[in-house]
Structure 1
Amino acid sequence: MTPITDLYLQTWNASDANARDRLLAEHWTEGATYTDPLVDVGGRDQISATIGAVREQFPGFVFTLVGEPDAHHGLTRFQWGLGPAGAEPLVVGFDVVVGDGQGRIHQVLGFLDKVPA
């Protein structure tokens, strides 16, 4: 079974909208929500649009896992980085993912730890 953090990062790294929408349909609940300091959206379409906007703002960048995830009771917390492949991340965040009990993402609560000026 693929860890929820891998599915989450695969979704955020999908630069093709069709591929991203397939990942959202398969691994995120229909009513999934995503909240961070910059956005508060609900539903797969709005989440896809949010990811698309980030992909446009940071073309060619990749999301990577920073450290080890910690999980219990359907909750997973982890730190991620965003930057050029193989380089030090320019943006670092910390997310908490709430699963639906069936391995899908239902809610994401995000925080930004490091943002370029």
Structure 2
Amino acid sequence: MASAELITSILKENLYEIFCSPSHEDRLKNLARLWSPDGLFIDPLGTFQTHEAISNAISGLQQEGWVFTELSDVQITSPPNSEIGVARLRWGYGKPGEEPELTGLDVVSVKDGKVERLYTFLDSKPGN
């Protein structure tokens, strides 16, 4: 199983180097580095299975000038002797220095040091 440090690093790099990146080419490079070739991203807008499809989905989510921020520590759970690590991270998305316009939770499974699955759950906007 991947170490807690590796899983934490993967989750944070996924948030900042993939989801925050405006560059399709940079996202693809980081997806190849951090994600399994058959990784799966599921969120309320759809299911995306190739690195190209995942990058395109992220591009459609981005708002100019908005950024993702961590709202919690990474929490990891894995059965003893399991090959798969499962972790979650709460995040916010909005203009830097302001309350996030959107909040959510990512749940990720990591196997062999790569993201296999990412499930994104959206919360209601702050104040709702």
Specify if TM > 0.5. yes
Q: What runs of 5+ residues in structure 2 fail to find an aligned partner?
A: 1-5, 79-84
**C-alpha distance in structure 2 between counterparts of 1:8 and 1:30, whole Å:** 15
CA RMSD of aligned residues (A): 1.7
Larger Rg: 2
> Which range is displaced more, 92-101 or 1-10?
1-10
Other-structure match for 1:67: 72
Shift of 1:111: 0.6
**Residue identity (%):** 29
Shift of 1:66: 0.6
**C-alpha distance in structure 1 between counterparts of 2:112 and 2:86, whole Å:** 10
5 Å-filtered alignment, 1:1-117, equals 3-9=9-15, 10-55=17-62, 58-73=63-78, 74-102=85-113, 104-115=114-125
**C-alpha distance in structure 2 between counterparts of 1:72 and 1:16, whole Å:** 32
Q: TM-score, normalised by structure 1?
A: 0.89
Q: What runs of 5+ residues in structure 1 fail to find an aligned partner?
A: none
Structure with the higher strand share, 1 or 2: 1
Q: TM-score, normalised by structure 2?
A: 0.82
